Structure 1
Amino acid sequence: MTDTETQGPPRKDLASRKEGIPLGRIAGIPVVLAYSWFIIAAFTVIVYGPVLAHNDSSLGLGAYFVAFAYAVLLLISVLVHELAHALTAKIYRWPTEKIVLNLWGGHTQFESFTASPGRSVLVAMAGPAANFVLAGGGWLLVSTAGLTGVADILANIFVWANLLIGIFNVLPGLPLDGGRLVESAVWKATGSQEKGTVAAGWGGRIIVIALAVWFIVLPALSGDRLDLSFVLITALVGSFLWMGAGASIQQARLRGRLHLVDAGTLAEPAVGLPESATVADVLALARDGATGAVPAVVLCGPDGRPVALVDAGAVSTVPPAAAASTPVSAVAYALGAGAYVPEFSRGQELVQYLAQLEGQEYAVVDGAGNVTGLLRQAAVLKAITGKEPRRGRGEPGRAGRQP
Structure 2
Amino acid sequence: MSSSSTPHHAATKKDGIPLGRIAGIRVYLAYSWFVIAGFTVIVYGPAVLVQFPYLGMGAYLVALCYALLLAVSVLVHELAHALSAKAFNWPTEKIVLNLWGGHTQFESFTSSPGRAVIVAMAGPASNFVLAGILAPVVFGGVFDGVVEMLANILMWANLLIGLFNVLPGMPLDGGRLVESAVWKATGSQDKGAIAAGWSGRGIAIALVIWVIGLPLLRGAPLDINLMLITVLVCGFLWMGASSSINHAKLRSRLYLVSAAGLAERAVGVPNSATVADVLAVSPAGSPAVVICGPDGKPQGVVDAGATAAVPAEAATTTPVTAVAHALAAGAYVPEWSKGQELIQYLARLEGGEYAVVDHNGLVTGLLRQQAVVTAITGKEARRSGRA
The TM-score with structure 1 as length reference comes to 0.88
- Shift in Å, 1:50: 0.8
Residue in 1 that maps onto 2:305: 313
Which stretch of the first structure deviates more once superposed, 320-329 or 186-195?
320-329
The answer on 1:188 being equivalent to 2:184 is: yes
Residue in 2 that maps onto 1:237: 233
Residue in 2 that maps onto 1:159: 155
Which stretch of the first structure deviates more once superposed, 380-389 or 228-237?
380-389
Distance 1:23 1:74 in 2: 16
C-alpha contact (below 8 Å) 1:364/1:371 kept by paired residues: yes
Residue in 2 that maps onto 1:173: 169
The amino acid across from 1:230 in the alignment is L
Structure 1 unmatched ranges of 5 or more: 394-403
CA RMSD of aligned residues (A): 2.2
After the TM superposition, which residues 385-396 of structure 1 pair with which residues of structure 2 at under 5 Å, given as runs? 385-390=377-382
The answer on 1:341 being equivalent to 2:337 is: no
C-alpha contact (below 8 Å) 1:299/1:310 kept by paired residues: yes
Distance 2:383 2:93 in 1: 32
SS of structure 2 residue aligned to 1:324: coil
Q: Once the two structures are aligned, what percentage of the paired residues are identical?
A: 68
Distance 2:338 2:218 in 1: 57
Would the alpha carbon gap of residues 389 and 33 (structure 1) be closer, same or farther in structure 2, given more than 3 Å must change? farther
C-alpha contact (below 8 Å) 1:2/1:352 kept by paired residues: no
Distance 1:131 1:281 in 2: 72
Which stretch of the first structure deviates more once superposed, 206-215 or 23-32?
23-32
Would the alpha carbon gap of residues 67 and 271 (structure 1) be closer, same or farther in structure 2, given more than 3 Å must change? same
Would the alpha carbon gap of residues 279 and 247 (structure 1) be closer, same or farther in structure 2, given more than 3 Å must change? same
The amino acid across from 1:349 in the alignment is E
- Shift in Å, 1:112: 2.4
The amino acid across from 1:296 in the alignment is A
After the TM superposition, which residues 45-60 of structure 1 pair with which residues of structure 2 at under 5 Å, given as runs? 45-60=41-56
C-alpha contact (below 8 Å) 1:101/1:107 kept by paired residues: yes
Residue in 1 that maps onto 2:279: 283
The answer on 1:219 being equivalent to 2:215 is: yes
Which stretch of the first structure deviates more once superposed, 53-62 or 216-225?
216-225
Structure 2 unmatched ranges of 5 or more: none
- Which of the residues 245, 265, 268 maps onto 1:269? 265
The TM-score with structure 2 as length reference comes to 0.91
Distance 2:330 2:139 in 1: 63
C-alpha contact (below 8 Å) 2:37/2:67 kept by paired residues: yes
- Shift in Å, 1:308: 2.5
Distance 1:94 1:389 in 2: 38
C-alpha contact (below 8 Å) 1:283/1:294 kept by paired residues: no
- Which of the residues 287, 293, 304 maps onto 2:296? 304
C-alpha contact (below 8 Å) 2:78/2:95 kept by paired residues: yes
Residue in 1 that maps onto 2:102: 106
- Which of the residues 77, 94, 102 maps onto 2:90? 94
The amino acid across from 1:363 in the alignment is A
C-alpha contact (below 8 Å) 1:300/1:307 kept by paired residues: yes
Residue in 2 that maps onto 1:63: 59
Residue in 2 that maps onto 1:256: 252
C-alpha contact (below 8 Å) 1:365/1:371 kept by paired residues: yes
> Per-residue displacement from partner, 1:47-82 (whole Å, max 9, x unpaired)?
111111112212211111111111111111112212
Would the alpha carbon gap of residues 31 and 315 (structure 1) be closer, same or farther in structure 2, given more than 3 Å must change? farther
Distance 1:354 1:73 in 2: 44
Would the alpha carbon gap of residues 294 and 251 (structure 1) be closer, same or farther in structure 2, given more than 3 Å must change? same
C-alpha contact (below 8 Å) 2:6/2:106 kept by paired residues: no
